[in-house]
Amino acid sequence: DAGVIQSPRHEVTEMGQEVTLRCKPISGHDYLFWYRQTMMRGLELLIYFNNNVPIDDSGMPEDRFSAKMPNASFSTLKIQPSEPRDSAVYFCASGPQGGQGAWGYTFGSGTRLTVV
């Protein structure tokens, strides 16, 4: 099992550019989560999906952020246009469906985004 795979590991972009972060969850996992980690705010849930359907996007900071999950094996988080305050580490995590097993899900290694 390769775990949750995120790409790229590092991204440096200029303010105003579009940024796309990618995530491949663990095969068979039905939940997918996008978190953001900053020094100031810690770990924040941005959005999560169940069976490819967005369930709660209340954590998405503003309309510049969007996330999609076109199929069970792929999700993207897009920021357009990017701003310096978006600089953070973005984590994707996935978990199996239902019951206690769904908790304590598996995190990817993260994408460190720097917007200059």
Partner 1 sequence: AQSVTQPDIHITVSEGASLELRCNYSYGATPYLFWYVQSPGQGLQLLLKYFSGDTLVQGIKGFEAEFKRSQSSFNLRKPSVHWSDAAEYFCAGPGAGSYQLTFGKGTKLSVIP
Binding site for partner 1 (CB under 8 A): 4, 31, 33, 42-43, 45, 48, 50, 55-56, 91, 93, 95, 100, 102-110
- Report the Cα–Cα distance between both ends of the chain, in Å, rounded: 36
In the bound complex, what is the minimum distance in angstroms from residue 57's beta carbon to partner 1? 11
Min dist CB 114 to partner 1, Å, is 14
The H or E element spanning position 77 is strand 74-79
What is the Cβ-side half-sphere exposure of residue 88, based on CA atoms within 13 angstroms? Answer: 22
Nearer residue to partner 1 within complex by CB, 43 or 116: 43
Q: Which is nearer to partner 1, 18 or 56 (CB)?
A: 56
CB closer to partner 1, 56 vs 83: 56
Longest CA pairwise span in the chain (Å)? 43
Q: At closest approach, how far in Å is the CB of 1 from partner 1?
A: 14
Q: How far is the CB of 35 from partner 1 (least distance, A)?
A: 8
Residue 14 or 94 having the CB closest to partner 1: 94
**What is the rounded distance in angstroms from the CA atom of residue 91 to the CA atom of residue 75?**
12
Place of tokens 């996935």: 94
Give the whole-angstrom CA distance, residue 15 versus residue 72. Answer: 31
